[in-house]
């Protein structure tokens, strides 16, 4: 009890970052972590006599059902308190049944409960000095602690690893859609600056800050994918399953086809090889997990949003030139091609936990994979052509014409050589 009293007495700023970020989380669990926990922390904050600021980290996709998103809190159809109360007594079967109706046109429970969490924060806006930060897709760092730093394989990092290892060969995405990626250190710098401004200047209302890149410095998924693969050609990952190569598909039919041909079929063949060699099969399970992840991400990589950034730009103007340098969150200064290359290098360093000494061996492995890829495609073409010749008179005529032409050309070339001698 004494420790709690000291905590309440001495705390002067709260950065509330805790949340579940799983897209497929059960609604009950997502509400408990993203809504109820926020409410309980706000209740605790109201008992802190020296609290100067409460900074809540939300997500830019909390209102992804809208095309243009302003720096305001949008109401949900059902009050957060009613959702919290219902989650305490409804059983899982009923929650599963009503979840699609509750989340409406949002894609998952994560975005829905983050929107509810913002409403909870708004309800306490009269009692506390509050601010909300909405980052978009958080990726590797831009500058600190070093360019490309990552410490997990969540979000876009997981896709980069999957592409670099050769697991991911096709993805349903709109190449021209804006990839609203934001470096992790930009989010941290903005968060610290918001904490300072909220505590010192004490705005009259709760300000929302969009930490996004699309409006100020856009980069599309197609450009990003090309740069990722180009970097892997120069600096490949060790022990890749296949040569890194990923294509975009734009409709469900081609997506299902390439998932079967480029993802599931190679995984089944490789697991069959593992069984023959007395090892435990694992590739099919891994590939199914990857495809589930891709299906959850499709909503976000096929759309573009517009986020207003008036408050973020206002905050930048309030910083001194030195603070703008130290706490830099100006995404307009970001060079995307350089950032993506550093991102890939950071992923490689995270996977290796060592320096880049393995690059020559990785390049040799990549060359072997490329040769295997060409041999496999050649064998597949020859088999298909042989089956076609066996079943089609037209194909046989074409084949005999090609063989006859090649024979005549070689005979003419040999005769010409003999005359010259």
Query: Two tokens at 292?
Result: 């589930």
Neighbours of 176 (CB within 10 A): 11
Element (H, E) at 241: none
Q: Which of 28, 43, 44 is nearest to 113 (CA)?
A: 28
Helix (H) or strand (E) run with residue 14 in it: strand 13-16
The per-residue pLDDT for 365 is 41
8 A C-beta contact, residue 354 and residue 151: no
pLDDT computed for residue 359 by the predictor: 47
Beta strands in 38-105 (DSSP E): 53-57, 68-69
pLDDT recorded at residue 358: 47
- What are the backbone angles phi and psi of residue 280, rounded to the nearest 5°? -80, 125
Contact between 202 and 129 under an 8 Å Cβ cutoff? The reply is yes
Q: Count Cα atoms within 13 angstroms, Cβ side, for 332.
A: 8
Can you list the alpha helix ranges (DSSP code H) found in 202-282?
221-234, 252-258, 265-276
Q: Under a CB-based contact definition with an 8 Å cutoff, are residues 281 and 271 in contact?
A: yes
Per-10-residue mean pLDDT, the chain, length 421 = 77 92 91 94 90 94 93 90 90 91 92 94 86 95 93 86 87 90 95 94 92 91 90 83 82 86 86 86 87 89 92 94 93 93 91 54 45 53 63 68 67 54 45
CA distance readout (Å), 120 to 58, 123, 150: 12, 5, 31
Query: What DSSP character marks residue 76?
Result: P
Q: What is the pTM of this model?
A: 0.81
Asked whether 263 and 287 are in contact (CB, 8 A), the reply is yes
What is the pLDDT, as a whole number, of residue 182? 94
């Amino acid at each position: 009890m004494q420790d709690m009293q000291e905590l309440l007495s001495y705390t002067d700023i709260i950065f509330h970052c805790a949340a579940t970020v799983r897209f497929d989380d059960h609604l009950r669990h997502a509400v408990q972590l993203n809504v109820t926990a926020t409410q309980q922390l706000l209740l605790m904050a109201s008992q802190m006599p020296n609290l100067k600021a409460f900074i809540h980290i939300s997500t830019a996709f909390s209102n992804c059902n809208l095309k243009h998103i302003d720096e305001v809190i949008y109401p949900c159809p059902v009050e957060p308190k009613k959702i919290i109360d219902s989650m305490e007594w409804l059983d899982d079967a009923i929650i599963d049944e009503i979840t699609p109706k509750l989340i409406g046109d949002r894609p998952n429970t994560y975005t829905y409960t983050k929107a509810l969490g913002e409403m909870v924060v708004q309800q306490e806006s009269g009692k506390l000095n509050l601010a909300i930060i909405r980052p978009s897709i958080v990726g590797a760092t831009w500058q600190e602690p070093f360019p490309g730093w990552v410490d997990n394989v969540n979000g876009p990092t997981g896709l980069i690893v999957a592409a670099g290892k050769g697991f991911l060969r096709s993805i349903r995405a709109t190449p021209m859609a804006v990839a609203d990626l934001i470096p992790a250190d930009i989010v941290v710098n903005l968060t610290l600056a918001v904490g300072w401004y909220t505590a010192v200047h004490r705005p009259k209302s709760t300000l929302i800050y969009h930490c996004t890149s699309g409006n100020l410095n856009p980069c599309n998924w197609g450009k990003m994918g090309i740069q990722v693969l180009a970097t892997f050609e120069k600096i490949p990952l060790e022990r890749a399953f296949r040569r890194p190569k990923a294509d975009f598909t734009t409709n469900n039919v081609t997506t299902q086809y390439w998932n079967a041909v480029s993802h599931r079929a190679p995984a089944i063949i490789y697991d069959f090889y593992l069984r023959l060699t007395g090892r435990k099969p694992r590739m099919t399970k891994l590939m199914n997990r990857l495809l589930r992840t891709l299906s959850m991400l499709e909503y976000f990589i096929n759309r573009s949003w517009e986020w207003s950034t008036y408050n973020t730009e206002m905050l930048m103007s309030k910083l001194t030139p030195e603070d703008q340098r130290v706490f830099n969150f100006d995404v307009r200064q970001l060079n995307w091609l350089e950032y993506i290359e550093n991102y890939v290098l950071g992923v490689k360093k995270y996977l290796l936990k060592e320096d880049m000494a393995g690059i020559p061996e990785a390049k040799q492995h990549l060359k072997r994979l490329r040769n295997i890829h060409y041999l496999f495609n050649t064998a597949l073409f020859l088999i298909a052509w042989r089956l076609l010749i066996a079943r089609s008179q037209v194909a046989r005529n074409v084949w005999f014409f090609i063989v006859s032409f090649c024979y005549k050309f070689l005979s003419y070339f040999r005769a010409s050589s003999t005359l010259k001698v």
